Amino acid sequence: MISETALLESPALRSSVLERTDVLDRVKALSLLPDGMHVTTAMVATYFEVAVKTLESVVEDHREELQASGYQVLTGTRLTLFKRASGIQSRSRSLALYPRRAVLNVAMLLRDSEVARQVRVYLLDMEYLARTQPVENPAPTDPAALDARIDQRITHILGKTVLPMFNALIETSSDHQRELIALRTGVQRIEKRLRQHHARLQRLESPREDRPLIGVMASMDAMNGREFEEHVAALLRRDGCTNVILRGGSRDRGIDITALTADGRTLVVQCKRFAPHLSITSPEIQKFVGAAKVLHSSEVALFVATCPFTRDAQNIAAESGITAVHRGLLEEWSAGAQLTVLQ
């Protein structure tokens, strides 16, 4: 199992996982330049929520490695052609460009960025799944298996053959650069959709038990809503709750789980599986307060989410007797710690 420390310290390990650039979009959206392939230093710094100087320091310390993953600085004629082809307006005499591989490489070098840490968590979890997935030889008549194999083959061809061909044509052509860039962008969209489809198939078919701690939140982020509710229900049972009932659905009246605590108090739970860059807001807490206290007259109420809570939401929860189980607390709970309110 690759550890985060090993990833931070080993150039060889970092190089071995550079193809998994889809993990970047799992954490937050990565905005690209109009060419559909690159980002600037400022854009990378914004993505990782660090200062530009911090990023420049990383580049200075690891320039050769980043160049191997596609980092480059354009000047002179190359910069002029790139600006003309991509429509970028800039008076700078040089422009540093990062493809997605180089951005992922940066994520494995930045030690003090929470966004980079989360990218590493996803990356390690995907590597764990890939290494522990049972090797099977499904029958050719299995539609899901055929879809996955076809997706992988097409994605490989697009990424290793078609896109490099477009890049070479764009570099050498002066008359049709805009048309070629537009075609390349279309191919990249297809490649991205195929990667997303293959990732969804992997999530549906992969085992979810006995994950290492570093993959706890990544595995929850890969769950659908019902799986997440079942996970929370399992945590309640582990901590001594009884009569645990899943009520999620169109008629749940704002409550996903009901139960009794180990000492007999009535308990209700709302579960929200949101992306980690989103937040639970005060209106959602206010709605839950009505359901928990008015409709169900609960003694204990948990609002469990895979994301943070806004300050207003936390204040309203505290004032209303709601226990806000935010992303960090959920990770600790899933790893074995008990919630104070259940003790």
Average pLDDT over residues 57-85: 89
The pairing of strands 257-260 and 242-246 is antiparallel
Helix (H, G, I), strand (E, B) or coil at 108: coil
pLDDT tens-digit profile of 194-231? 776 666 656 544 544 444 444 677 778 778 888 889 99
Residues 15, 26 contacting (CB under 8 angstroms): no
Residues 339, 302 contacting (CB under 8 angstroms): yes
How far apart, in Å, are the Cα atoms of 17 and each of 21, 48, 69, 323? Answer: 9, 19, 11, 39
Assign residue 96 a region (left: φ > 0; alpha: ψ between -120 and 50; beta: otherwise). Answer: beta
Pick from 54-58, 125-129, 181-185: least confident: 125-129
CA distance 335 to 217: 10
In 242-309, the DSSP E strands lie at 242-246, 257-260, 266-272, 300-305
Model-level pTM?
Answer: 0.42
Q: Which residue has the higher pLDDT, 210 or 331?
A: 331
Q: Is residue 249 predicted with pLDDT exceeding 70?
A: no
Please report where in the chains the tokens 């009246």 appear, as a residue: 253
Band the pLDDT of 188: cuts 50, 70, 90.
Answer: confident
Average pLDDT over residues 164-193: 71
Average pLDDT of every residue of the chain = 79
Q: Is residue 43 predicted with pLDDT exceeding 70?
A: yes
Q: Tell me, what's the pLDDT at 170?
A: 67
Give percent of the chain with pLDDT exceeding 70.
75
Pick from 15-24, 35-44, 185-194, 328-337: least confident: 185-194
Residues 4, 120 contacting (CB under 8 angstroms): yes
Q: Tell me, what's the pLDDT at 220?
A: 80
Q: Tell me, what's the pLDDT at 209?
A: 43
Average pLDDT over residues 153-180: 65
Beta bridge partners of 97: 72
Average pLDDT over residues 227-244: 90
Per this entry, what is the length of the chain? 343
Q: Tell me, what's the pLDDT at 214?
A: 47
CA distance 38 to 18: 15
Nearest to 211 by CA among 1, 35, 19: 1
Band the pLDDT of 173: cuts 50, 70, 90.
Answer: low
Nearest 5°: the CA angle 266, 254, 307 is 95
* H or E element that contains 64: helix 63-68
Helices 311-320 and 282-289 cross at an angle (nearest 10°) of: 20
Q: Which two tokens stand for residue 318?
A: 């505290």
Nearest to 21 by CA among 37, 45, 42: 37
Q: Is residue 307 predicted with pLDDT exceeding 80?
A: yes
Average pLDDT over residues 260-275: 89
pLDDT tens-digit profile of 100-150? 999 999 999 998 888 888 888 888 776 655 555 554 444 444 444 545 555
CA distance 184 to 180: 6
Q: Tell me, what's the pLDDT at 66?
A: 93
CA distance 215 to 185: 33
